[in-house]
């Protein structure tokens, strides 16, 4: 029987650091062995993810479970986790993050020791008692990674975008292994850029708010921080589920209680970033409704 790489005990940690290259070690709980952890540079428009697996290692006779990023260029990074963790890499130094006593959720991704992507691990919350994915993804259903064509814009008689009439079907959920809605990460806009063009920002914000109401029927919330639009979920379970589903669609999202906040900027265009935010919420909300109903919805 061939021993899986992630199931071995790894005794050596080889780090290639120096000059402008540093390293990162994330210590985790034992149950995360084999999970893949991703990090990205902050402000990197390409949102390139750098990933590594959590392995069992030995320091002396003590077992530890850790993800080791042996060489990372200097800069400010964040982890693809809930909550995300920001950290700084300095050349010639090792940065450490300790999750051994933390309640951290890592979105499911392909990894050699993780379960099949249609049955990923998930963090238990107060009301979660079933698989994190909707019924259609249970039982080994094949997931297509092929993106769908862009839905054409539809308009009302008064010239407004009819966001609630644009979609009759959605591509597979990225959380299950489908194609992410965006190729690059849609990130929040710096507040100074927003202050420089507040009238345009207010127009974009109002349109995204209108679209979110149309595709979900949920209340929208004005954030106290510039650059964010809030969507109030029904409860924490819903907020956590949508947060996990949205982030792997490559749209930034943060959570405060049962409210999710998504990015808004004055330079967002109707058929690009505005549509991206509303589409991602429409798609993930559609699958959330199927998830809680335990019945596949007709597309």
Provide the H-helix boundaries in 152-259.
Answer: 191-195, 198-216, 236-247
Q: Give the pLDDT confidence of 72-88 residue by residue, as tens digits.
A: 999 888 888 877 788 99
Tell me the CATH number at 225.
3.90.1150.10
Specify the pLDDT at position 80: 82
% the chain with pLDDT above 90: 38
* Same domain for 240 and 174: yes
* pLDDT value at residue 10: 45
Q: Is residue 38 part of a domain?
A: yes
Q: Is residue 61 part of a domain?
A: yes
| Average pLDDT of the residues in 260-275 | 96
> So what's the pLDDT on residue 196?
96
Q: Which two tokens stand for residue 264?
A: 């808004």
pLDDT of residue 47: 53
pLDDT at 50: 86
Burial of 260 (0-12, 13-18, 19+ CB in 10 A): buried
Q: What is the pLDDT of residue 117?
A: 31
Query: Is 201 in a helix, a strand, or coil?
Result: helix
User: How large is the average pLDDT for residues 188-200?
Assistant: 93
The per-residue pLDDT for range 44-70, each reduced to its tens digit, is 545 577 888 888 887 767 888 999 998
The pLDDT assigned to 210 comes to: 97
Residue 4 CA: distances (Å) to CA of 7, 64, 92, 114, 211: 5, 18, 32, 12, 48
Residues 144, 78, single domain; the answer is no
In a shared domain, residues 153 and 25: no
* Domain boundary, last residue among 45, 78, 98: 98
Q: What is the per-residue pLDDT across 101-142, written as a single tens digit (0 to 9) for each? A: 888 877 654 333 333 333 333 333 333 333 577 877 776 667
User: Residue 148: which domain range?
Assistant: 135-293
Average pLDDT over residues 20-47: 81
Domain check: are 75 and 184 in the same one?
no
What is the secondary structure of 37-82 as a DSSP string?
Answer: EEEEETT-TT---EEEEEEEEEETTEEEEEEEEEEEESEEEEESSB
Helices (H), 184-235: 191-195, 198-216
**What pLDDT was estimated at residue 103?**
80
Q: How many domains does the chain have?
A: 2
What percent of the chain shows pLDDT beyond 70?
81
For residues 254 and 8, what is the distance between their CA atoms, to the nearest angstrom? 36
- The mean pLDDT of the chain is 81
Domain limit, last residue, from 82, 98, 114: 98
Q: Cα angle at 248 between 244 and 253, to 5 degrees?
A: 60
Interatomic CA distance for residues 137 and 275, integer angstroms:
26
Helix (H, G, I), strand (E, B) or coil at 227: coil
Helices first, then strands: H and E counts in the chain: 4, 12
Q: Which of 161, 129, 114, 185 is nearest to 282 (CA)?
A: 161
DSSP 272: I
Query: Is the pLDDT assigned to residue 177 strictly greater than 60?
Result: yes
Mean pLDDT to the nearest integer, 197-226: 95
Q: What is the pLDDT of residue 299?
A: 53
Among 173-182, 237-246, 289-298, which stretch is predicted with the lowest mean pLDDT? 289-298
Pair 245, 141 in one domain:
yes
> Average pLDDT for residues 270-292, to the nearest whole number?
93
Residue 287 and residue 203 share a domain = yes
Respond yes or no on whether the N-terminal peptide bond of residue 83 is cis (omega within 30° of 0).
Answer: yes
């Amino acid at each position: 029987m061939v021993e899986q790489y992630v199931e071995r005990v790894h005794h050596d940690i080889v780090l290639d650091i120096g000059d402008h290259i540093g390293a990162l070690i994330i210590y985790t709980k034992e149950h995360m062995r084999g999970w893949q952890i991703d990090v990205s540079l902050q402000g990197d428009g390409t949102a390139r993810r750098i990933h590594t697996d959590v392995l069992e290692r030995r320091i002396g006779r003590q077992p530890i479970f850790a993800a080791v990023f042996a060489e990372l260029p200097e800069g400010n990074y964040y982890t693809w986790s809930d909550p995300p963790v920001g950290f700084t890499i300095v050349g010639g130094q090792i940065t450490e993050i300790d999750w051994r006593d933390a309640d951290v959720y890592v979105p499911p991704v392909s990894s050699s020791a993780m379960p099949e992507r249609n049955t990923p691990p998930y963090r238990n919350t107060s009301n979660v008692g079933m698989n994190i994915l909707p019924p259609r993804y249970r039982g080994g259903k094949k997931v297509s990674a092929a993106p769908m064509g862009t839905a054409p814009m539809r308009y009302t008689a008064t010239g407004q975008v009819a966001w609630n009439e644009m979609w009759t079907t959605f591509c597979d959920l990225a959380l299950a292994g489908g194609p992410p809605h965006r190729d690059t990460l849609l990130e929040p806009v710096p507040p100074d850029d927003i202050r420089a063009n507040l009238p345009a920002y207010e127009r974009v914000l109002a349109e995204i708010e209108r679209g979110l109401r149309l595709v979900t029927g949920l209340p929208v919330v004005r954030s106290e921080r510039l650059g964010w639009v809030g969507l109030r979920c029904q409860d924490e379970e819903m907020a956590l589920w949508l947060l996990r589903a949205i982030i792997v669609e490559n749209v930034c999202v943060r959570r405060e209680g049962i409210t999710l906040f998504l990015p808004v900027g004055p330079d967002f265009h109707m058929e690009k970033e505005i549509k991206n935010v509303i589409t991602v919420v429409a798609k993930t909300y559609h699958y959330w409704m199927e998830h809680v109903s335990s019945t596949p919805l007709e597309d």
